[in-house]
Amino acid sequence: MESLQIITGVLAFKPCSSVAQVDTSPYVRPIRQLGFAPFLKKKTKIETLWIRASSLNGGTSQEGSSVVDNGKGNKERGLLFGTEKDDTGSVVGFHLIPQPGDWEINDSHEELATQTVEEVTDIEEEEKIQTRVTYNIVFVTSEAAPYSKTGGLGDVSGSLPIALATRGHRVMVVSPRYQNGTLSDKRYAGASDVDCHIKVYCFGGEQEVAFFHEYREGVDWVFVDHPSYHRPGNPYGDSYGAFGDNQFRFTLLCHAACEAPLVLPLGGFTYGEKCLFLVNDWHASLVPILLAAKYRPYGVYKDARSILVIHNLAHQGVEPAATYSSLGLPPQWYGALEWVFPTWARTHALDTGEAVNVLKGAIVTADRILTVSKGYAWEITTTEGGYGLNGLLSSRKSVLNGITNGIDVADWDPSSDEHIPFCYSADDLSGKVQCKTALQKELGLPIQPNCPLIGFIGRLDYQKGIDLIQDAIPELMEDDVQFVMLGSGDQRFEDWMRATEETYKNKFRGWVGFNVPISHRITAGCDILLMPSRFEPCGLNQLYAMRYGTVPVVHGTGGLKDTVETFNPYARGGSGEGTGWTFSPLSKESMLAALRVAISTYREHKSTWEGLMRRGMEKDYTWESAATQYEQVFEWAFIDPPYC
Ligand SMILES: Nc1ncnc2c1ncn2[C@@H]1O[C@H](COP(=O)(O)OP(=O)(O)O[C@H]2O[C@H](CO)[C@@H](O)[C@H](O)[C@H]2O)[C@@H](O)[C@H]1O
């Protein structure tokens, strides 16, 4: 009977007579994020609803409590509820349904009946953001914006942890503290040395690493400090190519990330052993292997879980087999990382093809595997998209899922973006054309508001299909269009961009380099964004483009296919449907055909074009929906026993 009443949601809890304390330190969690807000009496202003971290970390069994402001400034003690602990005293969960004795029921139907529609909406809003179970999450990544970013991984690592923390999880991001002697070093200025040095044994020696920490936007940003992270260049290399010791640098990161939850008293409390490691790409892939091989045999992390998030399968951290002995793993675990190249991929007659593959090791030992879109989750199980790991990934299909990335909608918002000269929104698009002419002026292109302006932003890499653009440019430049490219990477493509700018002075601009403000201005100023990616695990630029009313023309692959809906002029009684164009197969001809349809729609059907822009701008790109799906996977990860 009582539980039935709970389901109908007409209960309100009366204050109990137990200790109520308020702590505004960052290490407390809002009660509403633990799922209680809907049960609180309406018209009671929820001012401070916190659970003391001390009670979460082994306080008395008196459990958490809340303080509710009754609107008159008097603090009433609120709901009491139970915490669930293991035999070490660590909190493992909460009684989401209050236990007998913890609460009293006030089932006043009258009060509910007097609620206004607005109040009911408030309750729905509260319900939307509630999280049932929270986790201690350790997010391990080689880059995290705004501290470090070379591509989409940096963006995701900079925003997904915040979205998870907002939903009530305790989140730590562990990443290297890069110092390259430029102004960008200042990005770490808010992180201070926590005075905790640890020794890591790998690569034939003892390495001392330090930890820096900054608490920002609800997240513990932890930076691993070691001299190998201090050098000119980006996180992975410099103008001479990739650093030769990357395997060493990221081995250090993984060892340090495994120690961080045990040794760092962040806000006074460690994260402890019962945490969930989210490890991103090959750089963090040693973590699940270390949990299984180095810690669990000694009873440590026996209840932790790990989830491998694959942002790009093309990079796997493959090194000669001899490297294995340097990784700090027991010899008997070699098989987990063992990788033998097929005969055709060997370099000479005596090459046995033996190697170690760190990403492969994580695919074997992680408790679950995620990719950044559903389409890519399937593609990596195929010969074409699996980069040699398709067989292994197929064998783990039951724990493989895809969740499409969200974007930082505050950072990428055309109505408030500080990088663009004119702001605009779906309700008032007038600033968009002003951004376009300002961009033409900035780039020294003829100022032509009606000339279709096509953009490309991205790493100049084989993945991104730059060679297709190269092939298509001579034909495309015959048309009355302008084209701007922003990117850095492969030297050949950089040189080609510079040379093409010389050839088509009034039509083509190639900006070689990595420049975030310019990327915002191109996203806002262009009419069309071209992404002919060979494969694209998710892709963020097409999401940014749609949010800015810039219509994407993309190759129908991976996340691009999942997120860009091809325009259908006949749908919805002729008013049209879709947010852009996807083309397939990946060929110059099909790319040009899609671009030409887009260009003629832009020129000849202005209202149709506005419809395309608006539909793209109005889509929901927030991390909220992705974070909810991540939570589902977290739950699944803890259902099964960990890998050991
Ligand atoms: N020259 C430049 N100047 C300024 N900014 C630049 C730039 N070049 C790239 N960027 C920025 O870097 C990011 C690139 O993100 P993407 O998702 O498109 O690709 P990436 O391949 O790096 O990411 C991988 O990881 C992400 C995240 O999961 C997946 O979406 C993707 O498919 C996968 O390949 C965007 O924010 C973009 O604006």
Which residue from 387, 404, 538, 540 has its CB within 8 A of the most atoms of ligand 1, so it is best to mutate?
540
Chain-centre distance for alpha carbon 100: 41
Average pLDDT over residues 593-619: 97
**Is the Cα torsion angle 460, 463, 468, 469 positive or negative in sign?**
negative
Q: What angle do CA 483, 486, 489 make, to 5 degrees?
A: 130
Chain-centre distance for alpha carbon 305: 19
Distance 145 CA to ligand 1 centre (A): 12
Q: How confident is the model at residue 30 (pLDDT cuts 50, 70, 90)?
A: very low
Distance 469 CA to ligand 1 centre (A): 18
All structural domains of the chain with their residue ranges: 136-234+243-316+366-406+629-639, 429-619
Distance 495 CA to ligand 1 centre (A): 21
| Ligand 1 atom 9 nearest Cα | 458
C-alpha distances out from residue 136 to 10, 169, 263, Å: 32, 6, 14
Q: Give yes or no for residue 284 having a pLDDT over 60.
A: yes
Take residue 494 and report the two structure tokens written for it.
Answer: 């950089």
Identify the pLDDT of residue 115: 45
Q: How far apart are CA 498 and CA 414, in angstroms?
A: 29
136-234+243-316+366-406+629-639 is classed CATH 3.40.50.2000: yes
Q: Would the CATH topology of 136-234+243-316+366-406+629-639 be identical to that of 429-619?
A: yes
Q: How far apart are CA 206 and CA 352, in angstroms?
A: 31
Distance 540 CA to ligand 1 centre (A): 6
Name the β-bridge partners of 278.
139, 307
Atom of ligand 1 nearest to the CA of 513: 1
- Percent of the chain scored above 70 by pLDDT? 80
**Is the Cα torsion angle 594, 596, 602, 607 positive or negative in sign?**
negative
Distance 216 CA to ligand 1 centre (A): 23
Atom of ligand 1 nearest to the CA of 405: 28
Atom of ligand 1 nearest to the CA of 155: 36
Distance 514 CA to ligand 1 centre (A): 11
110: number of Cβ within 10 Å: 6
C-alpha distances out from residue 451 to 287, 482, 552, Å: 51, 7, 17
Q: How far apart are CA 160 and CA 309, in angstroms?
A: 12
Q: Give yes or no for residue 382 having a pLDDT over 60.
A: yes
Q: Give yes or no for residue 14 having a pLDDT over 90.
A: no
Tens of pLDDT, residue by residue over 536-585, are 999 999 999 999 999 999 999 999 999 999 999 888 877 789 999 999 99
Tell me the three state secondary structure of residue 501. helix
Which residue from 149, 281, 311 has its CB within 8 A of the most atoms of ligand 1, so it is best to mutate?
311
Average pLDDT over residues 225-230: 98
| Ligand 1 atom 20 nearest Cα | 152
Atom of ligand 1 nearest to the CA of 536: 32
- 251 φ/ψ angles, rounded to the nearest 5 degrees: -65, -45
Which residue from 316, 456, 459, 547 has its CB within 8 A of the most atoms of ligand 1, so it is best to mutate?
459
Lowest mean pLDDT among 205-209, 351-355, 435-439: 351-355
Which residue from 279, 280, 379, 457 has its CB within 8 A of the most atoms of ligand 1, so it is best to mutate?
457
Identify the pLDDT of residue 53: 34
| Ligand 1 atom 15 nearest Cα | 152
Which residue from 420, 538, 547 has its CB within 8 A of the most atoms of ligand 1, so it is best to mutate?
538
Chain-centre distance for alpha carbon 31: 25
Contact 16, 103 (CB under 8 A): yes
| Ligand 1 atom 28 nearest Cα | 311
Q: How far apart are CA 160 and CA 158, in angstroms?
A: 6
**Ligand 1 — pocket residues by CB below 6 A?**
151-153, 155-156, 311-312, 372, 405, 457-459, 486-488, 514-516, 519, 536-541, 559
Average pLDDT over residues 610-614: 97
| Ligand 1 atom 27 nearest Cα | 152
Q: How far apart are CA 41 and CA 21, in angstroms?
A: 20
Q: What angle do CA 512, 440, 588 make, to 5 degrees?
A: 60
Q: How far apart are CA 192 and CA 524, in angstroms?
A: 36
| Ligand 1 atom 24 nearest Cα | 152
Q: Give yes or no for residue 103 having a pLDDT over 50.
A: no
Tell me the three state secondary structure of residue 337. helix
Report the greatest alpha carbon distance in the chain.
85
Atom of ligand 1 nearest to the CA of 372: 28
Q: Give yes or no for residue 104 having a pLDDT over 80.
A: no
Identify the pLDDT of residue 344: 87
How many residues are there in the chain? 644
CATH fourth-level superfamily of 429-619: Glycogen Phosphorylase B; (3.40.50.2000)
Average pLDDT score over the chain: 85
Identify the pLDDT of residue 29: 36
Distance 381 CA to ligand 1 centre (A): 23
| Ligand 1 atom 31 nearest Cα | 539
Q: Give yes or no for residue 123 having a pLDDT over 80.
A: no
Atom of ligand 1 nearest to the CA of 486: 1
